[in-house]
Chains A and B, each alone.
Chain A
């Protein structure tokens, strides 16, 4: 089954304790992206990657890191989480054609609900 898989789905942690949210897709998509969703602020892009070893900042990258060592995986790293990073996080992936990465149909993972105390 074609899917984007995120783990963990739920996590409660404390300020400053490094954590990683994994994301894996089995559709051979070039493009992968992380979003956070907060009440009243909608979906905001954190980072995206157009292919292996190619990543770029989205709208809200502060406090996050990413890496794309393999095509299927795109982990999101919070080096020193803070309470303002409490949010619902989504990973997404797509094919794309042409110059821009936003041309393909985007598929989302099931979301990871993170609480930082």
Chain B
């Protein structure tokens, strides 16, 4: 089946810094989403982005499906950005496969 790999596994930033999170996948996909799990455990949709580029405030994402990767950019990070960022992909099955996540800690 499709493999998903996220990097880095964890990241510590100072408030105001920028960061790039990466999601690699092993086969063609028909779905790719980025989620943020906040410290209270809630899973929040960030982007539905099987291809192309999207922006939402300080966050943006790019998926290059032909090269099998997606990037999540966080600019001017804030402490509220802390948590775990997951990418999830869908291939030729009924399942959405989740990566193991990137744990982000933004320090004031």
Q: Is the CB of B41 within 8 A of A102?
A: no
CB contacts under 8 Å to B, within A19-53, are 42-43, 45, 48, 50
> What is the interface size of chain A, counting residues whose CB is below 8 A from a CB of the partner?
22
On chain B, the residues within 8 Å of A101 by CB distance are 94
- Shortest 8 CB-CB distances between A and B: which pairs? A102-B90, A105-B48, A108-B43, A101-B94, A43-B98, A102-B96, A111-B41, A103-B30
Q: Is the CB of B43 within 8 A of A103?
A: no
On chain B, the residues within 8 Å of A50 by CB distance are 94
How far is B89's CA from A103's CA once the two chains are assembled, in angstroms? 9
The closest CB in chain B to the CB of A43 belongs to: B98
* With known contacts A101-B94, A104-B31, A42–B43 Cβ distance under 8 A: no
Q: Which of A42, A48, A88, A106 contacts B33 (CB 8 A)?
A: A106
Task: Write the residues of chain A forming the contact surface with B, with a CB cutoff of 8 angstroms.
Answer: 42-43, 45, 48, 50, 56, 58, 88, 90, 98, 100-108, 110-111, 113
Q: Is the CB of B98 within 8 A of A102?
A: no
20 contacts between A and B (CB under 8 A): A42-B100, A43-B86, A45-B95, A48-B94, A48-B95, A58-B95, A88-B41, A90-B43, A100-B30, A100-B92, A100-B94, A102-B90, A102-B95, A103-B31, A105-B45, A106-B45, A106-B88, A106-B96, A110-B42, A111-B41
Question: How many cross-chain pairs have Cβ atoms below 8 Å apart between A and B?
Answer: 53
| Most B CB within 10 A of own CB, among A48, A90, A105 | A105
How far is B33's CA from A110's CA once the two chains are assembled, in angstroms? 18
Q: Nearest Cβ distance between residue A85 and chain B, in whole angstroms?
A: 17
* With known contacts A43-B86, A110-B42, A111-B41, A100–B100 Cβ distance under 8 A: no
On chain B, the residues within 8 Å of A108 by CB distance are 35, 42-45
Q: How would residues 84 to 108 of chain B score, 1 for a CB under 8 Å from any chain A CB and 0 otherwise?
A: 0010101111111011110000000
CB contacts under 8 Å to A, within B17-63, are 30-31, 33, 35, 41-45, 48
